[in-house]
Structure 1
Amino acid sequence: MMFRDRREAGRLLAERVAATAPDAVLVLALPRGGLPVAAPIADRLGAALDIVVARKLGAPGHPEFGVGAIAEDGPPVYDQDNLRYARTTERSMAGTLAAERAELRRRIRRYRGDRPAPPVTGRVVVLVDDGLATGVTAHAALRWIRGRGPARLLLAVPVCSPQARDLLAPETDGIVYLSAPADFLAVGRWYEDFGQLTDADVDEVMRGYTHA
């Protein structure tokens, strides 16, 4: 299943989310890529839209291969299988963790300013990203949200690897997706337009939405 771009994927996914969680009151996106997907979902549900800032921890020498992730002020979450595959350890990731923690703080200041993190306690929350490869970034975000006591927590993505779907299922009250191809390979493979987004793109999407 190919998507023209993230917006189209969000519009298609919105109908599936509405059927699964019509009472959702808060849509949280993983910026940058998750926001264009999340906006049509928030529109369809009439829900508030906000962000959860997370950063992947890439393997030394192979930064695109996620072995862990951090979200907001939460602790790192590591994928032990990926650590072993990359022949690295949590201790050896200390330098990468410090650098990504600094970038995460920069993005929080850039995207949210003085606004506090979105309150999720007792709310029905849908976390949205543009796809799941290893799923490690969404894993950290889900752990952070779950630790704040939502009434119900769903994960919504247009496309995901079967492995990531199965990994994250225990962390959610349900995963809503449109496609989980066995030959997944990479998120961008399933989009005709998967251009890199900027901080300005985040600002553009967030303008005009009621935040949490």
Structure 2
Amino acid sequence: MRRRPDLPFADRVDAGRRLGRLLRHLGGTDVVVLGLPRGGVPVAFEVAGALGAPLDVIVVRKLGFPFQPELAMGAIGEAGCEVLDLDSIAREGVSADEVRAVERRERGELEARVRRLRGARERLDLTGLTAVIVDDGIATGATARVACQVARLQGAARVVVATPVAPSSAADALDAADEVAVLESPEPFVAVGRWYRDFTPVSDEEVSALLAKTSRRAPTRGHPDD
């Protein structure tokens, strides 16, 4: 693939370092950086390093309608978190049993993915902290919006969404965040990978390695009651 030198970001490391500089005002506060797997984690690793904050993943799964799985009726996260679009569920006549069946299936997929990414490490406690949710780019904002809701359900006192690149229209979908930090908002947007010279896919193994590395690099902040 031909690399274009005029693109804003060399790769996710470059983007993460630049995003970390943009977020320096958060340094010294009680912050946890949460990468959206997979591509958001290398960016989040650099942000966590810049802020001296611990790094974790925030894993969410869409709950699709039984008759149209690609259309979301809600989403789930760890620790039993669930976000449902009750108006849409009622309008489409989906029963409580059908919702629970989809939730059970997706819960199994979510837990399997968490095990692959985090291994034996515990999820970081967000209670009373600022959660900085990082992705390598945002197209529609739907996943980041759900991640914000899940972080709040997990106890975050404040939620920041940070990304190197997003269209200006994505801000409307991120009203669940207290703050949105974006380095570049090009138009026309086209796709996230369009704005990186190197947008190589990130594997589960790479995510797991970055989480292990950051656990040695940055101390985990204590629970407020510790």
TM-score w.r.t. the length of structure 1 is 0.80
Give 1:153's aligned residue.
Answer: 159
Is 1:189 aligned to 2:194, yes or no?
yes
Decide whether aligned partners of structure 1 residues 43 and 6 sit closer, same or farther in structure 2, where only a CA change above 3 A counts: same
Give 2:82's aligned residue.
Answer: 75
Give 2:13's aligned residue.
Answer: 7
Is 1:200 aligned to 2:205, yes or no?
yes
Retained in 2: the 8 A contact 1:165–1:175? yes
CA RMSD of aligned residues (A): 3.0
1:97 shift after superposition: 6.0
Q: How does 1:155-174 map to 2 (within 5 A)?
A: 155-168=161-174, 170-174=175-179
Q: How does 1:128-139 map to 2 (within 5 A)?
A: 128-139=134-145
Q: How does 1:41-190 map to 2 (within 5 A)?
A: 41-56=47-62, 69-72=75-78, 73-76=80-83, 91=94, 100-168=106-174, 170-190=175-195
TM-score w.r.t. the length of structure 2 is 0.75
C-alpha separation between the residues in 2 aligned to 1:141 and 1:152?
13
Decide whether aligned partners of structure 1 residues 174 and 71 sit closer, same or farther in structure 2, where only a CA change above 3 A counts: same
Give 1:28's aligned residue.
Answer: 34
Unaligned runs of 5+ in 2: 1-6, 221-226
1:76 shift after superposition: 4.3
Retained in 2: the 8 A contact 1:69–1:137? no
Q: Secondary structure at the match of 1:155?
A: strand
Decide whether aligned partners of structure 1 residues 208 and 191 sit closer, same or farther in structure 2, where only a CA change above 3 A counts: same
1:109 shift after superposition: 1.6
Q: Secondary structure at the match of 2:178?
A: coil
Retained in 2: the 8 A contact 1:68–1:137? no
Instruction: List per-residue Cα deviations over 1:69-118 (Å, max 9, x = no partner).
Output: 4332322456x9xx9xxxxx694996876654332111112222343332
C-alpha separation between the residues in 1 aligned to 2:21 and 2:166?
17
Q: Percent identity?
A: 40
C-alpha separation between the residues in 1 aligned to 2:191 and 2:182?
16
1:48 shift after superposition: 0.8
Retained in 1: the 8 A contact 2:9–2:196? yes
Unaligned runs of 5+ in 1: 84-88
1:183 shift after superposition: 1.2
C-alpha separation between the residues in 2 aligned to 1:90 and 1:154?
35
Retained in 2: the 8 A contact 1:14–1:44? yes
C-alpha separation between the residues in 1 aligned to 2:190 and 2:68?
20
C-alpha separation between the residues in 1 aligned to 2:137 and 2:44?
12
C-alpha separation between the residues in 2 aligned to 1:49 and 1:90?
40
Q: Which has the larger radius of gyration?
A: 2
Corresponding pairs, count: 203
1:120 shift after superposition: 0.7
